[in-house]
Structure 1
Amino acid sequence: MLDIRGVSKSYGARQVLSDVNFTVADGRMTGFVGANGAGKTTTMRIILGVLAPDEGTVFIDGTAVTASDRRRFGYMPEERGLYPKMKVAEQLVYLARLHGLSPASAQRNTTSLLEQLGLGERRDDLVEALSLGNQQRAQIAAALVHDPEFLVLDEPFSGLDPIAVETVMTVLAGYAAGGTPVLFSSHQLDIVERLCDDLVIIGDGSIRAAGSREQLREDHTSARFEIQTLGDAGWMRDLPGIDVVDFDGGWAVFEAETDAASQHVLSEAVSRGPVTAFTRQRPSLASIFKEVVQ
């Protein structure tokens, strides 16, 4: 388990992180989201030891992280950092060997990752000859090739087409399923919503919300409901405690002042004919993000 506790960071008079606290649990995919300049990359660099915090500590299983611990991390920076004149496979083997893998293990991991990420046929190409999307896949492979125990990935889905996104999602989910804590940032909230188990939302250097995806949805669920009937839903506009947001024929979205008012809508609809759907609307990650950062 990776714990970030009380982390603050300033550059001169400009404070970029203020008392940042969150946890990346074993076997969990944690999505780290925020606007540009919110503090995501600075936080990740502090976790990796690239930057030192002014205050606070990063812990692994309750013990302050050391340089030796960080060698067990897999890190993918937002800026591509591979050698453009090296062949893809040659570079991955080289990086694995730097982390202490044997030649045989380095070759085995490289071959496996390139196949998983759809780069098997490009293993002998120079990095600079790859498309930007394939360079991104190679960068992800570089973060994984040494069998890391923790993953910290900054915008891993940037520049990927939909098929490549699915491929990378499958690979990362496999690592999490094997017990690896995975922290990744992304501006693509639809991907974060599909992939993550937990969410951390940062705004102006402070954590605005953190928790499991389902708990955050529950915490931010509004009193808005959706109903589908076989009749006309216009009658709902005359009910007390009900605000009809939208309707079309037998379909309607409404807000209820109380649970009793929402149940009154349902019972009234049933008395008028068949009800084919009735549900409380659950917020998307995008709507939760807007709510907590504004």
Structure 2
Amino acid sequence: MIVVTGPTGNVGAELVRLLREQDELAYRIAAHHPARFPDLPAVRFDYDDPATFDAVLDGVSTLFLLFPLPHPRTVRTRMIPFVDAAVRAGCRHIVYVSVPGADRVKVVPHHAVERHIESTGVDHTFLRCGFFMQNLCRKVSTHGVDIMDRDELFIPAGRGRTTFLDSRDVAALVLDILRDPGPHRNRAHTLTGPESLTLDDAAQLLGQALERPLAYTRPSLPRFWIRLARRGVTWDTLLFMSIVYTLTRTGRNEPMTGELPALLGRPATRFAQWASDYRPRFERRDWT
């Protein structure tokens, strides 16, 4: 039994879509609100409520694990207890979505999660993913509001570059791993998109897809915090986004790897293609 956490997240949502299109793998969705998945095998799950763990992990063999909102405190209060519960329930393989540098940068909360998974002795695969294109239309980030209401990309990343990654590609890789885990057992893959873009580049490409001019305004961190906080974005979300965008501004998110296309056996999705595919979502304001 495959257990999927984070079914509304970037990779989780796409993985659920792929799983529902196949019938050879048995799976269960661990969802905070199972009613969102009325025709799928979903059960209630809350990291902060251990009483939900047993039903989620019943018969688990493989766990697809997401960190809902990385924070040092929730490593101890959420991730470690759930990982330990999964191992006790008989889980034999954990596929964990992490971030680049988690193997060496201790300040990144994913570092402690990776080390704990390793310490349990369970087989694992770490997918250290770059910045997802889908973050530009997520409800949690509210970037789509600025894009559609203000015609601007309002992100404090300066002139830095990032290797935008399509979560659909990562979900396809996860499905391959679930089908044939052997080649990925106890390995880490650092996954990036196929091009290193500035936010000016991204604004231009997305504007072309939407057929409207978009400007990248390069806000300061204080301006970024003030606008998004007024919009209702929580401080911990703002802190995490600020860390990501500071890393981009300082060039830490620029390096590319060729692992994703090699693992998929096809090219990774380019930003222009993603923007064209997601135009309807922006137009519907379908923030997930």
Shorter-chain TM-score: what band?
A: under 0.3
Q: Greater helix percent: which structure?
A: 2
Q: Greater strand percent: which structure?
A: 1
- Work out which of the two has the higher radius of gyration on C-alpha atoms and give 1 or 2: 1
Q: Which has the higher contact order (CA 8 A, sep 6+)?
A: 1
